[in-house]
Structure 1
Amino acid sequence: MRLDTISAEAYIDNFSMITIVVNKPFSIIPSLVLIDRKGAKQPLTIDIQEDYHEKYIYKCKTSQPLDLYTEYWVACEEIRIPLKVGSVVRTERFDTLFYDDGVLGAIYSPDSTTFKVWSPVANEIRLKYKTEELNSFSECKMIRSEKGVWHLTLEGNHHLTEYTYLAKVNHEWVETTDPYTRSVTINGERSVVINLSETDPEGWNRSEKRINLRAKTDSILYEVHIRDFTVHADSGVKNKGKYLGLTEKSTKTSNGYPTGLDYLKSLGVTHVQLMPVADFGSVDETKSDKEYNWGYDPVHFFAPEGSYSTDPYDPVSRVKELKVLIQTLQTNGLSVILDVVFNHVYIREDSAFEKLVPGYYFRYDDGGNPVNGTGVGNDTASERKMVRKFIIDALTYWLNEYKVDGFRFDLMGIHDIETMNIASKKLKSLNPGVFLLGEGWDLNTYLEPERKASLSSAKRMPDYSFFNDAFRDHVKGSIFPEGASGFINGNQDDRVKNQMIHVLRGYAGNQNLFLAPEQSINYTECHDNHTLFDLLAIRHPHENETTRRKRQQLALAFTLFARGVPFIHAGQEFFRTKHGAENSYNLPDRINAIDWNFCEKNDHSVVYFRDLIKIKKEQPIFRNGSAELQEKNVPRGALGFELQRVFTDKEGGVLYWKKVLLFFNQTLKPIGVPLEHQEWNIAVEDQRCGKKATSSDCYLIPPLSFSLLYKE
Structure 2
Amino acid sequence: MHKTYAYGKFRLRYGQPFPFGATPVQGGVNFSIYSNHATEAILVLFRKGETQPYAEIPFLREFRLGNVVSMIVLDLDYENLEYGYRVDGPYEPQAGHRFDANKILLDPYAKNIGGRDVWGAPIQDHGNFPYRGRIVTDDFDWEGDRPLEIPAEDLVIYEMHVRGFTRHPSSKVTPEHRGTFAGIQEKIPYFKELGVNCIELMPIFEFDELDNPRHNPLTGEPLFNYWGYSTIGFYAPKAGYAASGAIGGQVDELKTLVKELHKNGIEIILDVVFNHTAEGNEAGPTISFRGLDNKTYYMLTPNGHYLNFSGCGNTLNCNHPVVRIFVLDCLRYWASEYHIDGFRFDLASILGRARTGEPLANPPLLETLAFDPVLAKCKLIAEAWDAGGLYQVGSFPDYDRWGEWNGKYRDAVRKFLKGEGDVSEMAQRLQGSPDLYAKAGRSVDSSVNFVTAHDGFTLADLVSYNHKHNEANAENNQDGMNDNDSWNCGVEGPTNDPEILALRRRQMRNAITILMVSQGVPMLLMGDEMGHSQNGNNNAYCHDSELTWLDWTLLKTNAALFRFVKNCIAFRNAHPVLRNREYFQQQDYLKVGYPDISWHGTSAHDPDWSEDCHWLAFMLCGKYAKGGTAVDDFIYVAMNLHWESHSFELPKLPIGMKWHVFVNTAMQPPEDIWEPGFEPILSEQSWIMVGDRSVMVLVGK
Instruction: Check whether TM > 0.5.
Output: yes
Picking from 598, 601, 614, the partner of 1:633 is 601
Amino acid at match of 2:83: Y
Alignment map for 1:220-259 (pairs within 5 Å): 220-238=156-174, 239-248=177-186
Distance in 2 of aligned mates of 1:511 and 1:280: 35
Amino acid at match of 1:441: W
Picking from 517, 520, 534, the partner of 1:578 is 534
Query: Are residues 1:430 and 2:409 paired?
Result: no
Shift of 1:438: 1.6
Distance in 2 of aligned mates of 1:703 and 1:596: 31
- Where 1:176 maps in the other structure, the secondary structure is coil
Do 1:455 and 1:466's aligned partners in 2 also have CA atoms closer than 8 Å?
yes
**1:4-50 superposed Cα distances (whole Å, 9 cap, x missing partner):** xxxxxxxxxxxxxxxxxxxxxxxxxxxxxxxxxxxxxxxxxxxxxxx
Query: What is the match of residue 299 of structure 1?
Result: 232
**1:168-219 superposed Cα distances (whole Å, 9 cap, x missing partner):** 1216413201110111112383434424234x2xx424xx562433211111
- Call closer, same or farther: CA 1:533–1:380 in 2, change over 3 Å: same
Do 2:443 and 2:581's aligned partners in 1 also have CA atoms closer than 8 Å?
no
**1:629-649 superposed Cα distances (whole Å, 9 cap, x missing partner):** 33223364311111114279x
Shift of 1:158: 3.6
**1:416-473 superposed Cα distances (whole Å, 9 cap, x missing partner):** 23212211322xx33643211020015428xxx7xx9x43433633211101111101
Shift of 1:121: 1.3
Query: What is the match of residue 343 of structure 1?
Result: 275
Is there any run of 5+ residues in structure 2 with no aligned partner, and where?
Answer: 1-15, 92-99, 118-129, 213-221, 353-362, 466-486, 492-499, 585-595, 603-607, 666-671
Shift of 1:293: 0.6
Query: What is the match of residue 150 of structure 1?
Result: 69
Picking from 203, 208, 214, the partner of 2:150 is 214
Alignment map for 1:294-693 (pairs within 5 Å): 294-315=227-248, 317-348=249-280, 349-416=285-352, 417-426=363-372, 429-430=373-374, 432-441=376-385, 443-444=387-388, 454-458=392-396, 460-476=398-414, 486-491=415-420, 496-507=422-433, 515-538=442-465, 539-540=487-488, 542=490, 544-625=500-581, 628-634=596-602, 636-646=613-623, 657-676=632-651, 678=653, 679-686=658-665, 687-689=672-674, 690-693=678-681
Distance in 1 of aligned mates of 2:41 and 2:297: 19
Do 1:458 and 1:519's aligned partners in 2 also have CA atoms closer than 8 Å?
no
Shift of 1:704: 2.2
Shift of 1:101: 8.5
Query: What is the match of residue 698 of structure 1?
Result: 687
Distance in 2 of aligned mates of 1:625 and 1:585: 35
Alignment map for 1:153-164 (pairs within 5 Å): 153-160=72-79, 161-164=81-84
Distance in 2 of aligned mates of 1:523 and 1:508: 16
Do 2:17 and 2:69's aligned partners in 1 also have CA atoms closer than 8 Å?
no
Shift of 1:367: 4.2
Query: What is the match of residue 183 of structure 1?
Result: 112
Larger radius of gyration: 1
Distance in 1 of aligned mates of 2:47 and 2:537: 49
Shift of 1:511: 7.4
**1:609-640 superposed Cα distances (whole Å, 9 cap, x missing partner):** 11111111112222215864332233643111
Distance in 2 of aligned mates of 1:146 and 1:154: 17
Shift of 1:667: 2.3
Instruction: State the number of aligned residues.
Output: 568
Normalised to the residue count of structure 2, the TM-score between the two structures is 0.76
Shift of 1:110: 5.1
Distance in 2 of aligned mates of 1:459 and 1:692: 46
Query: Are residues 1:278 and 2:205 paired?
Result: yes
- Call closer, same or farther: CA 1:101–1:128 in 2, change over 3 Å: closer
**1:222-275 superposed Cα distances (whole Å, 9 cap, x missing partner):** 011111111112211121111111122xxxxxxxxxxx3322221111100011
- Call closer, same or farther: CA 1:569–1:508 in 2, change over 3 Å: farther
Distance in 2 of aligned mates of 1:363 and 1:131: 36
Please tell me the root mean square deviation across aligned C-alpha atoms, in Å.
2.8
Amino acid at match of 1:337: I
Is there any run of 5+ residues in structure 1 with no aligned partner, and where?
Answer: 1-99, 249-259, 477-485, 649-654
Do 2:461 and 2:535's aligned partners in 1 also have CA atoms closer than 8 Å?
yes
Do 1:210 and 1:431's aligned partners in 2 also have CA atoms closer than 8 Å?
no
- Call closer, same or farther: CA 1:141–1:347 in 2, change over 3 Å: same
Amino acid at match of 1:517: V
Percent identity over paired residues:
24
Amino acid at match of 1:185: G
Distance in 2 of aligned mates of 1:269 and 1:356: 42
Q: Which moved more, 1:436-445 or 1:586-595?
A: 436-445
Shift of 1:540: 2.4
Distance in 1 of aligned mates of 2:699 and 2:49: 74
- Where 1:376 maps in the other structure, the secondary structure is coil
Do 1:110 and 1:157's aligned partners in 2 also have CA atoms closer than 8 Å?
no
- Which structure is higher in RCO with an 8 Å CA cutoff and minimum separation 6? 2
